[in-house]
Amino acid sequence: MAESGTTMGSRALVIAPNTIGDAVMVQPLLALLRQQNPRLRLDVLCSDAVAPVFRCMDEVGDVIDGPPPEGRTSWAARWRLGRALRARRYHAAYVLPDSRISALVPWFAGIRQRIGYRGQSRALLLNRIHEAPRAKGPKTAERYAALAFEPHAPCPGSVPDPHLARRTQRERTVRAKFDIGREAPPIVLCTAAGGGESHRWPARHFASLIAMLAAETPEADVLLLGPAAERRAATEIAALSGQAARNLCGETTLDEAIAIVAQAAGVVTVDTGLMHVAAAYARPQVALFGPSDPRRGQPRSPRAHVEWLHLACSPCAEQACPLVHHACMQRIAPAQVFEALSRAMRFETTGARPAR
């Protein structure tokens, strides 16, 4: 095994990506680094947008508030942050975003070993440089995990699936705050189409699914979860269902949303960050794919079931359907999703169907 050259009891800084899904995919890298050196202290520099994800990783020591990796924060502010971090005496920094600006803080902090992929004219800021993979190269978790080893050295064996730690007291607090799960764990529907309208599953389909769930598991709360921008769409879904589905869109912080997903009896999502959170908690789930490619970004969990129709026009990766018909999402039937979720909830691994 080609190791990263860490020493016993040393300390490393991870410069994190800024999306929820990518943040989840960092965990296998951290696990590999800790396997190489069980005494390694790993701190993460990240924005508020993803900090709650890293607080659910047992491998992480401090979560340090930092600027977004693509943000407009001035060089002076990054210099001040880097200078402040010098006292922590990090021996290594793993720079996961590809931007040049994301490599500045480790440089300013005087961190001896700065590790990342070549890109955006930042060769002078890094000194252990991995060559960027081809456009259709390794998936995100594998790409990050490769940084645990020397450049050009293959990862030994398969990269483990991401894993987030349960926070029982936090989950109990959130459950009490929102008065959920008194008789049974909730079923969570993440309706947000973060990739654009072409990624959206129709409101009438979500409403039909809620009606089926209410008939099958009347004791379970059905929760609609998402950002504030999704509240109007979720209100429409709840109204169409004719059931007591609860619209929590915009009412939770990301930390609270993670705590809810962690204890869910079942989760249905489109391709979004909370999809990867549910997978990292091994929750029974169904992930709906249309314009995006599940072969590149499906949830990494044996309890996850992917619904993808394999249409000739899919995946197109467009925010708006170029053909207008939205068939890749419209034709995923609610009964199909209900049956898949029911199987995932009944069996720990049966029903998992990787994308082909």
Residue 182 has pLDDT above 80, yes or no: no
Is pLDDT larger for residue 9 or for residue 271? Answer: 271
Cα–Cα distance, 183 to 186 (Å, whole number): 9
* Averaged pLDDT for residues 319-333: 86
Highest mean pLDDT among 49-63, 140-154, 295-309, 337-351: 49-63
Question: Above pLDDT 90, what percent of the chain?
Answer: 71
Q: What is the pLDDT of residue 72?
A: 64
Instruction: Write phi, then psi, for 114 (nearest 5 degrees).
Output: -120, 115
The topology (CATH level 3) of 169-346 is Rossmann fold (3.40.50)
The topology (CATH level 3) of 11-148 is Rossmann fold (3.40.50)
* Averaged pLDDT for residues 24-36: 97
Reported pTM: 0.92
Q: What is the pLDDT of residue 154?
A: 80
Residue 39 has pLDDT above 70, yes or no: yes
pLDDT tens digits, one per residue of 212-261: 999 999 999 999 999 999 999 999 999 999 999 999 999 999 999 999 99
Instruction: Give start-end residues of each CATH 3.40.50.2000 domain in the chain.
Output: 11-148, 169-346
pLDDT tens digits, one per residue of 65-98: 988 766 666 788 899 999 999 999 999 999 999 9
